[in-house]
């Protein structure tokens, strides 16, 4: 337990002072009772009242202590059930994403689609960002802070070739929260479906790419690994199948959307394939994620609880004192 105003706990010194005052008052009353008893004037109900007359004061003292605790603004960590899921936005940042067959460019269209997706996600979804070209890197670990995700998206730039397999592998590692080790021989021998990296059914990958793959490993083999791990891949296609030409280091390079590759990756994982312009499809992606219940500890201020309990004890003390002793205190 922590306190927002710990200095208010100094007021607890009132409680022992009240106890001392109460004991002093009892002794004075006992002295008067002894004098009255010597004169035969003590009422016959005195012994019965003596047994219960301390209860109201005990309630008063406890109530005051609880109210003081409330004034100190106590905060406790309470276990709270919460549904959570993780989405990795995996961006193709290869040179082909410079193409302008989607306005203004494939890369900017991917960013716009991703930003729209992020803005529409509930707080139960954590979003990470992975960028892949010839290799792949985790730009942002899964976060529930939307401004962090948007900043990571805005800072992406293009260069190099395309390895869809590396993008999927790094996305899976980001979901797992640790570097994964996958048997390359299993991947090469078409046994990727038997590779077990754990189960992450509350996670999904949104693959934003034109689908052109130029570098190993085989993306379909990594899709099999993702499927075994319970991770759906939702592919978002950038570009047109007619394609266009981009300038790379002084060379003209033809590039076109490979929708077939992206659809096959999505189908392997029971995911979906959509065009980047389909905002409704992007919005619905998180609905396919099997959110899991987790128990997390969250700080909660319990001032009202202490104040209510203290007020109740003070009220009970007053009621008992009036009924039994004929006075409030």
What domains does the chain contain, in order, with CATH numbers?
2-76+300-325 (no CATH), 93-290 (3.40.50.410)
With 60 as the cut, is the pLDDT of residue 199 above it? yes
With 90 as the cut, is the pLDDT of residue 147 above it? yes
- Residue whose pair of structure tokens reads 């021989």 in the numeric block: 185
Of 57-71, 119-133, 275-289, the poorest mean pLDDT is in: 275-289
**Token pair for 147:** 């401004």
pTM over 0.85? The answer is no
Q: Where are the beta strands (DSSP E) in 23-133?
A: 74-92, 125-132
Of 9-18, 58-67, 293-302, the poorest mean pLDDT is in: 293-302
Q: Are 237 and 259 in contact (CB under 8 A)?
A: yes
**Token pair for 90:** 């995996």
- Residue whose pair of structure tokens reads 């296609």 in the numeric block: 237
Distance between alpha carbon 140 and the CA centroid of its chain, in Å? 15
d(CA 158, CA 132): 9
Q: Which residues lie across from 234 on neighbouring strands?
A: 206
**pLDDT tens, position by position, 160-198:** 888 899 999 999 999 998 888 776 666 666 656 567 788
247 three-state secondary structure: strand
**pLDDT tens, position by position, 21-77:** 878 877 777 776 666 666 665 554 444 555 677 788 888 889 888 888 888 888 888
Average pLDDT of the chain is 81
d(CA 329, CA 38): 27
- Cβ-defined contacts of 284-288 (< 8 Å, 24+): 285/87, 285/117, 285/204, 285/206, 285/234, 286/85, 286/87, 286/121, 286/122, 286/125, 286/204, 288/204, 288/232, 288/234
Q: Provide the percentage of residues in the chain whose pLDDT is more than 90.
A: 21
- Residue whose pair of structure tokens reads 């805005």 in the numeric block: 154
Q: What is the DSSP string of 139-198?
A: EEEEES-HHHHHHHHHT----S---HHHHHHHHHHHHHTS-----HHHHHTT-GGG----
């Amino acid at each position: 337990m922590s306190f927002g105003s710990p200095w208010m706990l100094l007021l607890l010194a009132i409680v022992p002072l009240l106890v001392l005052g109460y004991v002093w008052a009892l002794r004075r009353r006992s002295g008067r009772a002894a004098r009255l008893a010597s004169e035969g004037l003590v009422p016959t109900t005195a012994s019965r009242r003596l047994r219960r007359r301390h209860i109201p004061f005990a309630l008063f003292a406890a109530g005051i202590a609880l109210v003081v605790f409330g004034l100190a603004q106590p905060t406790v960590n309470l276990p709270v059930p919460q549904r959570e899921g993780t989405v990795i936005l995996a961006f193709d940042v290869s040179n082909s994403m410079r193409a302008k067959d989607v306005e203004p460019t494939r890369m900017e269209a991917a960013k716009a689609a991703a930003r729209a997706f992020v803005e529409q996600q509930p707080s139960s979804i954590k979003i990470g960002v992975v960028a892949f070209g010839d290799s792949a890197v985790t730009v942002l670990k899964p976060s529930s802070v939307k401004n962090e995700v948007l900043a990571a998206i805005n800072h992406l730039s293009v260069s190099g070739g395309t390895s869809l397999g590396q993008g999927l592998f790094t996305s899976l590692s980001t979901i797992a929260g640790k570097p994964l080790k996958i048997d390359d021989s299993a991947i090469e021998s078409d046994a990727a479906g038997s590779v077990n990296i754990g189960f992450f059914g509350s996670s999904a990958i949104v693959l934003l790419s034109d689908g052109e793959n130029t570098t190993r490993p085989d993306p379909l083999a990594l899709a099999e690994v993702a499927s075994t791990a319970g991770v759906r891949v939702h592919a978002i296609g950038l570009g047109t199948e007619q394609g266009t030409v981009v300038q790379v280091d002084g060379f003209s390079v033809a590039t076109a959307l490979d929708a077939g590759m992206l659809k096959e990756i999505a189908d392997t994982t029971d995911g979906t394939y959509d065009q980047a312009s389909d905002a409704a499809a992007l919005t619905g992606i998180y609905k396919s994620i099997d959110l899991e219940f987790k128990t997390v500890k969250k700080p909660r201020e319990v001032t009202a609880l202490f104040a209510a309990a203290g007020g109740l004890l003070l009220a009970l003390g007053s009621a008992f004192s009036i009924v039994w002793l004929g006075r409030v205190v």
